[in-house]
Amino acid sequence: MNKKNNQLANQILLQYIVTLIIFIVGIPLLIVLAIMIASNQTWYANDPLYKLLRSMMDYFFIIIGFIYVSGILGITIYFMRKPIEYMDEVVEAARTLANPKDEVIYLSKALGSIEVELNLAREQGIRNAMVARESEQRKNDLVIYLAHDLKTPLTSVLGYLSLLKEEPDLTPETRAKYTNIAFEKAERLEYLVNEFFDITRFNLTTQILQTEKVNLSFMLEQICFEFSPILKEKNLTFDLHIDPNVEYICDSNKLERVFDNLIRNAINYSYDDTQITLSLNETDESVEVKVLNQGKTIPKEISNRIFEQFFRLDTSRQSTTGGTGLGLAIAKEIIELHKGEIQVKSENEEIEFTIQLPKEL
């Protein structure tokens, strides 16, 4: 912008100098032309025009001086006003950027390059405002959904605890059943509360890596083992293809969270009685992790948004599977902090997440 402003200033200065030269040179030429025309005329002593011209000749230098001073002053004022007028145009156009509208900004021809930049800024402002509104709407929806999701398990916990308190004659089997249900609902409640705190951390803090050498093979095997009880609920199994002793320098806590999230996501959206395939492959330049499950195909328009904050695949928001829609967004941020990439592909009722991590951060 400064370069363009300098070009405009130089252009105005050049126009000012050229105009002055034309004016200074043009006055003598006009005088010579006027004398030539007057000399070819027949004049009479009592002609009023002749008397006027004779009087002007008596004050020739004074008149010429006045013309030069007035002309130069007028030209100078005109070109001094030009930048101010241009500035007023730009200021007025800039005001519209505070609340950008669909109307295109138009400036003087000399301000063409600035007009282009202001219109680009206007379009970017409109896009940013739209993104901000969508983000705000998602957050508002999230608060409503969280209130609903928190209320459901909390109501169940209170209900079953009330039964345990008010019915002292319950059989041991029934009491154990109610206790287990209350415990499961309390775990769900804890999970949702933790996700709520994740939202706060995601928006208010900057992620910083605390790296160390980690055995990724062992980490993935351990995480898969911990999910074994949950797999039984849908009769799922793991199909592991993990290269042995893959060591990688990373933030182990954050990567563990990514893998935990992807596996949990695969479990939630897998068909019953299917396999979840997890692979870890090491090359000279990178480490690749894939999580593949059998489930409903994700439409392309949705897969393009799957890593957005607060976006959820589960539009029905079932309490047993629905999260806040923040997990994949955080996973993407963590992978990018490790200078890697995470992608999703879905077709033929398969969902595959692929993570590429470079060997050197």
Same structural domain, 219 and 349: yes
Q: What are 79-89's pLDDT values in tens digits?
A: 887 777 777 77
User: How many angstroms separate the CA atoms of 343 and 351, rounded?
Assistant: 11
pTM: 0.53
Q: Percent of the chain at pLDDT above 90?
A: 24
The answer to whether 351 and 306 have CB atoms below 8 angstroms apart is no
Q: What is the number of domains present in the chain?
A: 3
User: How many angstroms separate the CA atoms of 271 and 17, rounded?
Assistant: 80
The pLDDT assigned to 326 comes to 67
User: How many angstroms separate the CA atoms of 305 and 311, rounded?
Assistant: 7
Same structural domain, 173 and 282: no
Q: Report strand pairing: 341-347 vs 350-358.
A: antiparallel
Average pLDDT, stretch 218-246? 91
Q: Does 38 or 353 have the greater pLDDT score?
A: 353
227 occurs within a structural domain: yes
313 occurs within a structural domain: yes
**Residue in the structure block whose two tokens are 């030269």:** 21
pLDDT at 247 > cutoff 50: yes
Same structural domain, 222 and 187: no
pLDDT at 94 > cutoff 80: no
**pLDDT band, residue 344 (cuts 50/70/90):** very high
pLDDT at 318 > cutoff 50: no
Same structural domain, 172 and 191: yes
The pLDDT assigned to 261 comes to 86
CATH label of the domain that carries residue 349: 3.30.565.10
Domain termination residue (choose one: 204, 224, 257):
204
User: How many angstroms separate the CA atoms of 200 and 57, rounded?
Assistant: 88
84 occurs within a structural domain: yes
The pLDDT assigned to 142 comes to 65
Q: Which long-range contacts (CB under 8 A, 24 or more apart) does 113-122 make?
A: 113/4, 113/7, 114/1, 114/4, 114/5, 114/8, 114/90, 117/1, 117/4, 118/90, 118/93, 118/94, 121/97, 122/96, 122/97
Range of the domain at 28: 2-98
**pLDDT band, residue 340 (cuts 50/70/90):** very high
Domain termination residue (choose one: 170, 204, 238):
204
CATH label of the domain that carries residue 150: 1.10.287.130
Same structural domain, 293 and 350: yes
Same structural domain, 257 and 176: no
User: How many angstroms separate the CA atoms of 31 and 53, rounded?
Assistant: 12
Average pLDDT, stretch 241-267? 91
- Categorise residue 179: left if φ over 0, alpha if ψ from -120 to 50, beta otherwise: alpha
Distances (CA, A) of 1 to 99, 111, 115, 126, 140: 21, 11, 11, 21, 39
